[in-house]
């Protein structure tokens, strides 16, 4: 399952970049004033990475975090916590999508109508084709197709992953803010930013087959049970659990702040929510109930969560919505070079 947040506006990007510039220096966790409550997770790692990412995509099977930056695409080993390579020939990289079966990374340029496809083994560009600039790229794995969305449009484009040829255009009911794949049910869920809806797209029909009510205030996040039986969504200061077949609300829980990212671990039954820029809340998700069981104040500005379902490890990463020239000016002033970011590791207590 692949989740994707659509890139934010330039003004939001400025806010995020300035906030991130005030982060803590690398050091002992205790020295950073991190509060850990009893619960299923322990914060075990705090790494400072040597680049400021626009977007990430994570492959848990290979322990690789791929990050796009204005200076290239980085590969980061999440076991050794080290950069293991950079594809410097890809400049101004924006949205990322991964086809792990073919070892291909789709890299959408921020300001050019270009998609470059990287072989992640050789770190070389294997083909390039036309793509809509500034759109978000999402790889739909059940049919092996690319989806393009843009936060200021009201459509979704489906394209051939090999050559970029547009296969279909789907008219949405509003502006999209988040997209999540549900390969088990051969569908894609699109959350709207300006209307209280989640729209369900059948990947075979390439058409909207349902629209579910969903609160729109605050950041947008979705997570889906691997079976497609439950969908979890941000709802202001709450997180809600929806029936995966009907969209009916089954339960909700307050996490105390707006939710920026969600991951659900079917192996443990825990839903983890990034609430605000640095608080991580762990929720026990039963068939018909949600219960907050742990809250961690990381002391860092982070923006996205990733899950390794085999070890139940959670990674929390910072990123920057690099959508304007002002960010190109700010980042060198804050940190130099390609900037800097943060990657936290949360280990499941067995």
Give me the domains of the chain, ranges plus CATH numbers.
3-348 (2.130.10.10)
Given a contact cutoff of 8 angstroms between Cβ atoms, the answer to whether 232 and 224 are in contact is yes
What global pTM score does this model have? 0.87
Residue 111 pLDDT more than 60?
Answer: yes
Separation of alpha carbons 73 and 66, rounded Å: 7
Cα 158 from chain centre: 20
More confidently predicted of 171 and 12: 171
Residue 29 pLDDT more than 90?
Answer: no
Which residue carries 């200076």 as its tokens? Answer: 71
Beta strands of 50-154 (E only): which ranges?
A: 55-59, 64-69, 72-77, 82-87, 93-99, 104-109, 114-119, 124-130, 136-140, 145-149
Separation of alpha carbons 169 and 206, rounded Å: 8
Mean pLDDT of the chain: 86
What is the structure's pLDDT at 3? 52
Question: 56-74: per-residue pLDDT in tens?
Answer: 999 999 999 999 988 899 9
What is the structure's pLDDT at 295? 94
What average pLDDT does this structure show over 264-275?
97
């Amino acid at each position: 399952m692949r989740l994707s947040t659509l890139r934010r506006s330039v003004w939001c990007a400025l806010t995020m970049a300035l906030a991130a510039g005030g982060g803590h220096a690398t050091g002992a966790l205790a020295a950073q004033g991190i509060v850990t409550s009893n619960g299923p997770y322990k914060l075990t790692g705090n790494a400072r990475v040597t680049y400021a990412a626009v977007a990430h995509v994570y492959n848990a099977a290979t322990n690789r975090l791929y990050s796009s930056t204005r200076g290239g695409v980085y590969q980061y080993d999440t076991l050794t916590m080290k950069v293991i390579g950079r594809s410097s020939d890809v400049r101004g990289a924006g949205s990322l999508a991964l086809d792990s079966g073919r070892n291909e990374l789709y890299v959408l340029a921020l300001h050019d109508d270009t998609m470059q496809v990287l072989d992640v083994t050789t770190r070389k560009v294997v083909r390039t084709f036309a793509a809509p600039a500034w759109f978000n790229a999402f790889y739909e794995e059940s049919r092996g197709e690319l989806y393009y969305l843009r936060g200021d449009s009201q459509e979704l484009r489906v394209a051939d992953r090999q050559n970029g040829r547009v296969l279909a255009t789907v008219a949405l009911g509003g502006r999209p803010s988040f997209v999540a794949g549900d390969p088990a049910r051969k569908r894609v869920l699109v959350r709207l930013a300006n209307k209280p809806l989640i729209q369900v797209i059948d990947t075979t029909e390439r058409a909207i087959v349902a629209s579910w009510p969903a609160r729109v205030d605050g950041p947008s996040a979705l997570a889906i049970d691997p079976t497609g039986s439950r969908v979890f969504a941000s709802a202001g200061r709450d997180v809600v659990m929806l029936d995966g077949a009907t969209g009916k609300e089954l339960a909700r829980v307050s996490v105390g702040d707006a939710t920026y990212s969600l991951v659900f671990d079917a192996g443990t039954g825990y839903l983890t929510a990034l609430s605000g820029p640095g608080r991580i809340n762990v929720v026990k998700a039963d068939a018909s109930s949600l219960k907050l069981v742990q809250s961690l104040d990381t002391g860092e500005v982070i923006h996205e969560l990733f899950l390794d379902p085999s070890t139940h490890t959670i990674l929390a990463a910072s990123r920057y919505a690099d959508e304007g020239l002002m960010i190109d000016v700010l980042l060198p002033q804050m940190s130099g070079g390609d900037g800097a970011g943060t990657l936290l590791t949360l280990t499941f207590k067995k």
